[in-house]
Structure 1
């Protein structure tokens, strides 16, 4: 009867996908096997970490479609113009076809992950029944971690579709029979779930964790809570959550903005949530990678000649590039955009930009040459791994590159925005928060910062990252910003339509 149940129900009979890992000290490695619940000994506390490993594994193994669909509608990003995904290009133009396979695939990706994560939580609760002493504390922490991972999935789905099913248990009939929850209900659920989790989570940075290096902590939960409250326009809630992160004094900006998004920036003091991947520094054999191909240029001359190109599906917009040039940006523009010769010519064809700064080049600081290709004129530099940082013998575009989800700079800018919109905070001023971000970018400090200036700073700092720009603009009803390069945006375009495959099988009403 319900496609959601068809996808999720078998998970209730199984334990976690991919929950066997080589060692705690290694990055989490997905295993293709499944372990039946009857095979687990819930009295064996040394195995209690396995379900939480599994929850991380499914969270890390995001479909390549997920970040593309979350981000492509912003005025910072364009879809590749030519190729085999015309409905993706139409989505970028706000023309939605609910039969588009990607809508349904992303829906399934998130709900399948939720099935695994919630199943992990229930397995941990079974371990807790037999736990004593410190093992009870450890069980509570692991359960809290699954709540954070669940909240992350729910938040993304609410951003895309608005009203969705909240999934709390593996009793999927009960979860879906009453229909969807409203977007505000989902966001409040995410915020409340983080309140439940925070007391049991480690009070450290993710990169300080020893048991699961880079795993979520109290501060990841506070960040997700802040994001949910930002969507609800509860700015005091945003200021309170981000203020706790800032006042901890545990986080700082990685000094080199360019390298932050490459190997040197992995598990830095700036990252509050990071999807981790690895080829284990071996030229062959097992590897756990995100598919970065969609973000990369489809034609290049890399320093490492064997390195594969990308697909050209995700293009920084000319609007964003000109915005950055107008601001006198160097570090952030150089990092965010890979230029082709045709792209440079297109910018220069506007008389206002006929003379470009010397750093604008189709050769990256690491020497990779970006060539012309049919689909796009620019590519995302934030998803670029220089070919000279690839493990020898690994040629896939971006192989083993981590995927940063939440950065401290975003925390600072959310805090600043909340203060400029009337919230109170004693951790620092809005000026101090914004200028902390600007200093790294070699931008002059601001005084008396306004909400509009904060949003401009977010545009410059967070472009191409998880749809931050798009969701900011629809939250603020800035439809004029999204109506660019021939596009016309209106309120009815804010949310994606439910996938037709789900409408056929679920208790859904179309948006």
Structure 2
């Protein structure tokens, strides 16, 4: 019933909470009104909302999107030590509504949405003498950005989903049994929330002390992506151009700098999942999940693997500097100093050299949206809007290619060819950043099946451009209906 389990926990715990719970990584119980009495407490509680993106080893942006959706693409598969049968099912496209990763995608997304809704309500109710109006509106805008991000993911995962914009204080069964809203309504709310979030300070105005918070640039960049997904290419191009013309962001000189700890939350990073290993916080688990298991002293898990039949590794030109940042084919053991050749390339973007012995403690952030993607959004949107690539579309795409060390494209491609070139550039630029499945499915079922069948994943079917509504949610809420493509499948 989506909110019911969170609501019941909240009611039981109201009398048990105290300010001592307000730590660097607050837990989900920070929803009590006791933590929204003034500006300082409201700021801490909103900060806690960000942690729902990455707060554990299998939270949304700390591997759940990888094992929950990216396995169902031509670029990834469950590695030799992927222990969860449900993950292996997604990799082989045999998953169904009982899949536990579907349940987690749904549950964690709505948990975060509940926290955002609760925060908006509580901050709106704080006495004027206890919080400045400027801070009140900023914190609400941050929560709306986070709510929009989670709904954007949900509507792409599942299609029609319940649209919940407030907390429900009633324990009446009917009040807890919500129905789905059409995709169009969900997108309308996403756009409204992101439009409001454009009022947030810029990255520069926030300063390093607030690195990682949602900004006006993040709202605009995510809006461009939302419009692109909706095929509103005119709006997508215009919003991407706003980000470009703001000059708040630029490409790093070298692709490797995007993933260096020393450069976190700087010129190319628009919004990222924040990781900090070995400091009582949370490391980036993708580093450990993709690291090898058979090299002394590295202690990887090799649960995420490259799907060789997809041809991703071979698609990189020899001069493309992104390949050897993204993948590794040999590693030196920190124990004996020997060089070990790997049987196949493995993902290496998030491997943190400062914690060789425990890659799960990687402090490398995971980009949710960065400037390179904005350039690619702009190039794609212009191509679709103008029925072919313009000079500006080539310029945007070639900026990304030039940084990668490969030659610029010359004019003369038609719309279809340029579209595929942009998608292939996204594929290579954004490996292991939770983008491939979204890119495939927004092109439609035929495109998705063509790519997966060519990669040997022959069970790919039209229904796989969405995931099934979790069976557990259907069982406890009779007002929910299964996605039509998944009925009798």
| Structure 1 pair 456–35 and aligned structure 2 pair: CA distance change class (3 A) | closer
- Structure 1 Cα separation of the partners of residues 20 and 384 of structure 2: 44
- Structure 2 Cα separation of the partners of residues 31 and 396 of structure 1: 24
Deviation at 1:184, TM superposition (A): 3.0
Listed as ranges, the matches of 1:429-508 within 5 Å are 429-448=392-411, 450-466=418-434, 468-477=435-444, 478=447, 479-488=449-458, 489-506=460-477, 507-508=479-480
Partner deviation per Cα, 1:71-91 (whole Å, 9 max, x = no partner): 222222222256522331221
CA contact (8 A) 1:78 1:92 kept: yes
Do residues 403 (structure 1) and 366 (structure 2) align? Answer: yes
Do residues 159 (structure 1) and 156 (structure 2) align? Answer: yes
| Structure 1 pair 397–197 and aligned structure 2 pair: CA distance change class (3 A) | closer
- Structure 2 Cα separation of the partners of residues 267 and 438 of structure 1: 22
Deviation at 1:17, TM superposition (A): 11
- Structure 1 Cα separation of the partners of residues 198 and 21 of structure 2: 24
CA contact (8 A) 1:262 1:384 kept: no
CA contact (8 A) 2:35 2:42 kept: no
| Structure 1 pair 435–40 and aligned structure 2 pair: CA distance change class (3 A) | closer
- With 179-188 and 268-277 compared, the bigger mean Cα shift is at 179-188
Match of 2:310 in 1: 319
CA contact (8 A) 2:276 2:361 kept: no
Listed as ranges, the matches of 1:15-414 within 5 Å are 20-21=22-23, 29-32=24-27, 34=29, 37=32, 39-40=34-35, 42=37, 44-61=38-55, 63=59, 64-81=63-80, 83-127=82-126, 129-130=128-129, 135-171=132-168, 177-199=177-199, 201-205=200-204, 209-279=207-277, 286-292=280-286, 295-301=289-295, 305=297, 307-315=298-306, 317-325=308-316, 327-339=317-329, 361=330, 377-386=344-353, 389-390=354-355, 395-414=358-377
| Structure 1 pair 249–180 and aligned structure 2 pair: CA distance change class (3 A) | same
Q: What TM-score do you get using the length of structure 1 for normalisation?
A: 0.80
- Structure 1 Cα separation of the partners of residues 208 and 89 of structure 2: 45
Partner deviation per Cα, 1:180-234 (whole Å, 9 max, x = no partner): 11223222321121112212x003358x535522211001111221222122111
| Structure 1 pair 456–290 and aligned structure 2 pair: CA distance change class (3 A) | closer
CA contact (8 A) 1:416 1:454 kept: yes
| Structure 1 pair 443–396 and aligned structure 2 pair: CA distance change class (3 A) | closer
SS of residue in 1 equivalent to 2:363:
coil
Deviation at 1:287, TM superposition (A): 2.9
Deviation at 1:313, TM superposition (A): 2.5
- With 141-150 and 474-483 compared, the bigger mean Cα shift is at 474-483
Point out the structure with the larger helix share. 2
- Structure 2 Cα separation of the partners of residues 157 and 330 of structure 1: 34
CA contact (8 A) 2:33 2:122 kept: no
| Structure 1 pair 18–444 and aligned structure 2 pair: CA distance change class (3 A) | farther
SS of residue in 2 equivalent to 1:274:
strand
SS of residue in 2 equivalent to 1:238:
helix
CA contact (8 A) 1:473 1:482 kept: no
- Structure 1 Cα separation of the partners of residues 289 and 311 of structure 2: 16
SS of residue in 2 equivalent to 1:421:
helix
Deviation at 1:33, TM superposition (A): 8.2
- Structure 2 Cα separation of the partners of residues 19 and 417 of structure 1: 46
Match of 1:420 in 2: 383
Partner deviation per Cα, 1:3-22 (whole Å, 9 max, x = no partner): 5422455347758999735x
- Structure 2 Cα separation of the partners of residues 500 and 491 of structure 1: 20
Partner deviation per Cα, 1:379-403 (whole Å, 9 max, x = no partner): 32223223xx229xx7352433322
- Structure 1 Cα separation of the partners of residues 391 and 451 of structure 2: 30
Number of residues paired by the alignment? Answer: 459
CA contact (8 A) 1:18 1:58 kept: no
Instruction: Structure 2: state its 5+ residue gaps.
Output: 484-489
CA contact (8 A) 1:118 1:168 kept: yes
Q: What TM-score do you get using the length of structure 2 for normalisation?
A: 0.84
- Structure 1 Cα separation of the partners of residues 66 and 21 of structure 2: 24
| Large movers: runs of 4+ above 6 Å | 15-19, 172-175
SS of residue in 1 equivalent to 2:210:
coil
CA contact (8 A) 1:151 1:190 kept: yes
CA contact (8 A) 1:292 1:383 kept: yes
CA contact (8 A) 1:321 1:333 kept: no
Deviation at 1:145, TM superposition (A): 0.4
- Structure 1 Cα separation of the partners of residues 19 and 359 of structure 2: 25
| Structure 1 pair 220–407 and aligned structure 2 pair: CA distance change class (3 A) | same
Deviation at 1:41, TM superposition (A): 6.9
Deviation at 1:330, TM superposition (A): 3.0
- Structure 1 Cα separation of the partners of residues 307 and 55 of structure 2: 25
CA contact (8 A) 1:5 1:172 kept: no
- Structure 1 Cα separation of the partners of residues 385 and 304 of structure 2: 39
